[in-house]
Structure 1
């Protein structure tokens, strides 16, 4: 399962990308995360369906410093990764 996710809310300047990377590694999800110029955070992730569900629940919950308003999630054809999850700058 390959997903393209846009995270809306207070998600920049609060350690959110590192949080997403940690959650991805915890769940065994490959892909990447980066900040966008509009204040959202973009994620591309790949895993099996059950794993993806747990990962998305974690992302939607955010960390102690963020406030996630909502996620825009859509299927994607490709997720660039080398067998791990990274933060893009």
Structure 2
């Protein structure tokens, strides 16, 4: 089943290759969506794809890449939008 989940990741998640690592993980899982830094220091991500792959990506987000220190992952389930791969890095807002 296809699902779509947007997440906000807090902690030491900027300047530690979090976005690039998320891109690589999402591509490996065959997910569509995007990741971007937010000006307040968080990272925002949208994963869309098979439910097991999305859950695996969200579980990975709780740890992140080696230099990160994740303190919180907030999940927001959304209606799937029919987004197709590739997964992308978006500009900071």
What secondary structure does 1:68 align onto? strand
Gaps of 5+ in 1: none
Length, aligned pairs only: 89
Q: Which residue of 2 aligns with 1:36?
A: 38
In the alignment, the residues of structure 2 paired with residue 31 and residue 79 of structure 1 have an alpha-carbon distance, to the nearest angstrom, of: 10
Per-residue deviation, residues 5-57 of structure 1 (Å, max 9, x unmatched): 00011000111100100110111111000000110000011011111111111
In the alignment, the residues of structure 2 paired with residue 42 and residue 34 of structure 1 have an alpha-carbon distance, to the nearest angstrom, of: 5
Q: Which residue of 2 aligns with 1:14?
A: 16
User: TM-score w.r.t. structure 1 length?
Assistant: 0.91
Show the 5 A alignment for 1:6-85: 6-79=8-81, 81-85=83-87
Cα RMSD (Å)? 1.5
In the alignment, the residues of structure 1 paired with residue 64 and residue 34 of structure 2 have an alpha-carbon distance, to the nearest angstrom, of: 16
In the alignment, the residues of structure 2 paired with residue 41 and residue 86 of structure 1 have an alpha-carbon distance, to the nearest angstrom, of: 13
Gaps of 5+ in 2: none
